[in-house]
């Protein structure tokens, strides 16, 4: 695992195929990387330039005077074998081959050639046909193409292994919208050398990773995967989204990364058996990773709902009961305790509806959570808010989460349209261990995922 750690936590990076020409991949990536980390340990390689972006540029990786931990390769496929030989000779620890044009376009032979080169050496390879790695704590990142998306510099608890570079990229953005941050991310590409299961093993042992999420088109070493995950899922939660479940999807997957997709039922069976949480959509992959990064595994059978204005208590109740999770009518004693602490126009049966009272007096929310939490009548409290109250209740919720034993979650259907100031609270809440869900359905399914993992 030494090499993999050096790839994610690389201290020196060569960018082979770096370019001064705007709009090229070699230019884009160098720009992204120099903006993200200290430039003094970045070495552009391109025989046509002496300097790019003010950095001394080398005609070959062999000329770089320092040790190179990681080499990003952005040259055309046919030149790749020679570049890789150079990297091996240089003793580079890891190579990320971003270039496409290998098995995904039928060029199996070329791919085998580079794979067998690295296999004979001490060097390891990510890709080819991939976006590489992102590890914010080490200042390693990869080029983003989605307009408006910048990878956060702040690291988090979720690591992602993705067999699609595109999915990897927007996963980071959509997770960040929920307040989640990434520990380590790899876009694995064609997996000619390092395969999905090996990343999984590495991340299971990585102290900075608390949850592993994966986007899977195909597992290339089925038996190895089965044996590995059985051991790993005990260590930390693994959430996998397996696509290509049906005929046409397999066609699409095959054209995308040269992988052959297996049957849906086989994978679902394996996941269940090995304790892997299966996601069936992008939303679920985000929901479940958010859940496991915020909440301890626990059986969630009874949910207490607290709402501020917006009428979402009904929807959360529907969604929970659809997933066979109970919204118990609170006991007379508990209702009385709530009644004594809350204004007369609030509702205390469950959902507890605070209406506008929580906006003017966040302390009412605190009291409700404390009283419900102490009762042991429910396993979790979910607070629903459509935006107006978020800023005023964030400190209260954070305090409750820290002091009280009862876990807290939030459903915020308006998440994507909130203004910047309100959105800043989302990160505070998630960091405090309060997962945020944009849909009631996502919350309810996540509670079942938490129960399953428990």
Given the structure tokens 């983003």, which residue do they identify?
144
Can you say whether the dihedral through the CA atoms of 341, 346, 347, 350 is positive or negative?
negative
Q: How far apart are CB 237 and a copy of itself at their closest, in Å?
A: 22
Three-state SS string across 149-218, please?
A: CCCCCCCCCEEEEECCHHHHHHHHHHHHHCCCCEEEEEECCCCCCCCHHHHHHHHHHCCCCCEEEEEECC
The strand order across the sheet containing 211-216 reads 132-134, 182-187, 158-162, 211-216, 238-242, 277-279
User: Which residues ranging from 252 to 271 are in contact with a copy of itself (CB under 8 A)?
Assistant: 252-253, 255-257, 261
Helix, strand, or coil (residue 347):
strand
Nearer to a copy of itself, 5 or 104 (CB): 104
Residue 90 has φ and ψ, to the nearest 5°, of -70, -20
Figure out which of the listed residues 65, 120, 248, 265 binds a copy of itself, where binding follows CB under 8 A. Answer: 248
Nearer to a copy of itself, 170 or 230 (CB): 170
Figure out which of the listed residues 44, 94, 214, 244 binds a copy of itself, where binding follows CB under 8 A. Answer: 244
Does 310 bind a copy of itself (CB under 8 A)? Our answer is yes
Q: How far apart are CB 411 and a copy of itself at their closest, in Å?
A: 11
Q: How far apart are CB 418 and a copy of itself at their closest, in Å?
A: 5
Does 28 bind a copy of itself (CB under 8 A)? Our answer is no
Contact 13, 140 (CB under 8 A): yes
CA distance 395 to 388: 15
Nearer to a copy of itself, 212 or 306 (CB): 306
Length of the chain: 454
Q: How far apart are CB 452 and a copy of itself at their closest, in Å?
A: 21
User: Which residues ranging from 45 to 84 are in contact with a copy of itself (CB under 8 A)?
Assistant: none
The stretch near a copy of itself (CB under 8 A) out of 44-52, 88-96, 291-299, 303-311 is 303-311
- Can you list the alpha helix ranges (DSSP code H) found in 323-411? 332-341, 357-360, 363-375, 390-403
Residue 161 has φ and ψ, to the nearest 5°, of -110, 120
Residue 164's nearest CA partner among 145, 183, 139, 137 is 145
Residue 29 has φ and ψ, to the nearest 5°, of -70, -40
Helix, strand, or coil (residue 125):
strand
Figure out which of the listed residues 79, 145, 260, 299 binds a copy of itself, where binding follows CB under 8 A. Answer: 145
How far are the Cα atoms of 101, 240, 316, 404 from residue 451, in angstroms, in the given order? 44, 17, 18, 20
Q: How far apart are CB 139 and a copy of itself at their closest, in Å?
A: 23
Residues 6+ apart with CB under 8 A from 330: 304, 338, 348, 349, 350, 352, 372, 375, 377
User: Which residues ranging from 369 to 428 are in contact with a copy of itself (CB under 8 A)?
Assistant: 386-388, 390-391, 413-422
Applying CB under 8 A, the site for a copy of itself has a residue count of 78
Q: How far apart are CB 227 and a copy of itself at their closest, in Å?
A: 27
Q: How far apart are CB 163 and a copy of itself at their closest, in Å?
A: 8
Residues 6+ apart with CB under 8 A from 174: 282, 286
Does 164 bind a copy of itself (CB under 8 A)? Our answer is yes
Does 314 bind a copy of itself (CB under 8 A)? Our answer is yes
- Between 199 and 238, how does the x/- string for binding to a copy of itself read (CB under 8 A)? ------------------x---------------------
Does 364 bind a copy of itself (CB under 8 A)? Our answer is no
Nearer to a copy of itself, 388 or 399 (CB): 388
Figure out which of the listed residues 67, 89, 234, 321 binds a copy of itself, where binding follows CB under 8 A. Answer: 321
CA distance 445 to 319: 8
Nearer to a copy of itself, 37 or 427 (CB): 427
Figure out which of the listed residues 35, 59, 263, 281 binds a copy of itself, where binding follows CB under 8 A. Answer: 281
Nearer to a copy of itself, 209 or 389 (CB): 389
Figure out which of the listed residues 19, 159, 317, 446 binds a copy of itself, where binding follows CB under 8 A. Answer: 317
Q: How far apart are CB 358 and a copy of itself at their closest, in Å?
A: 13
Figure out which of the listed residues 16, 83, 95, 167 binds a copy of itself, where binding follows CB under 8 A. Answer: 167
CA distance 448 to 292: 12
Residue 276 has φ and ψ, to the nearest 5°, of -80, 135
Figure out which of the listed residues 88, 126, 133, 327 binds a copy of itself, where binding follows CB under 8 A. Answer: 327
- Between 331 and 360, how does the x/- string for binding to a copy of itself read (CB under 8 A)? --------------x-x-xxx-x-------
Given the structure tokens 């750690």, which residue do they identify?
5
Does 446 bind a copy of itself (CB under 8 A)? Our answer is no
Contact 297, 454 (CB under 8 A): yes
């Amino acid at each position: 695992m030494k090499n993999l750690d050096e790839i994610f936590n690389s201290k020196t990076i060569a960018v082979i195929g770096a370019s001064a020409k705007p709009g090229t991949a070699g230019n884009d990536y160098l720009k992204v990387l120099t903006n993200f980390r200290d430039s003094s340990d970045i070495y552009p390689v391109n025989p046509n330039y002496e300097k790019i972006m003010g950095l001394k540029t080398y005609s070959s990786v062999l000329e770089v005077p320092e040790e190179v931990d990681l080499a990003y390769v952005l040259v055309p496929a046919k030149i790749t074998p020679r570049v890789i030989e150079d990297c091996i000779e240089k003793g580079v620890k890891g190579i990320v081959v971003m270039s496409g044009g290998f098995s995904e376009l039928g060029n199996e032979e070329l791919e085998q050639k580079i794979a067998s080169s690295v296999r004979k050496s001490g060097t390891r390879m990510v890709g080819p046909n991939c976006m590489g790695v992102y590890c914010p704590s080490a200042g390693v990142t990869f080029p983003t193409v989605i307009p408006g998306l910048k990878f956060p510099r702040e690291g988090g608890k979720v690591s992602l292994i993705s067999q699609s570079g595109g999915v990897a990229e927007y996963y980071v953005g959509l997770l960040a919208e929920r307040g989640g941050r990434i520990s380590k991310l790899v876009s694995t590409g064609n997996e000619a050398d390092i395969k999905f299961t090996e990343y999984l093993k590495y991340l299971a042992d990585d102290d900075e990773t608390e949850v592993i999420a994966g986007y899977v088109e195909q597992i290339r070493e089925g038996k190895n995967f089965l044996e590995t995950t059985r051991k790993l899922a005990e260590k930390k939660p693994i959430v996998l989204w397996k696509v290509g479940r049906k005929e046409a999807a397999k066609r699409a997957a095959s054209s995308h990364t040269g992988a052959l997709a297996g049957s849906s039922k086989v994978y679902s069976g394996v996941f269940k058996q090995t304790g892997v949480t299966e996601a069936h959509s992008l939303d679920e992959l985000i929901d479940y990773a958010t859940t496991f990064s915020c909440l301890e595994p626990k059986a969630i059978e009874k949910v207490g709902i607290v709402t501020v204005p917006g009428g979402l208590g009904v929807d959360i109740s529907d969604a929970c009961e659809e997933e066979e999770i109970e919204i118990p009518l609170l006991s007379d004693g508990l209702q009385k305790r709530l009644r004594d602490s809350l204004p007369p126009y609030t509702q205390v049966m469950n959902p507890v509806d605070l209406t506008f009272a929580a906006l003017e007096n966040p302390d009412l929310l605190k009291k409700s959570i404390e009283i419900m939490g102490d009762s042991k009548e429910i396993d979790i409290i979910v607070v629903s808010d459509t935006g107006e109250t978020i800023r005023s209740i964030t400190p209260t919720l954070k305090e409750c989460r820290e002091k009280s034993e009862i876990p807290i979650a939030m459903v915020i259907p308006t998440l994507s349209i909130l203004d910047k100031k309100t959105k800043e609270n989302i990160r505070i809440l998630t960091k405090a261990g309060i997962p945020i869900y944009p849909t009631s359905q996502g919350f309810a399914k996540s509670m079942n995922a938490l129960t399953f993992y428990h």
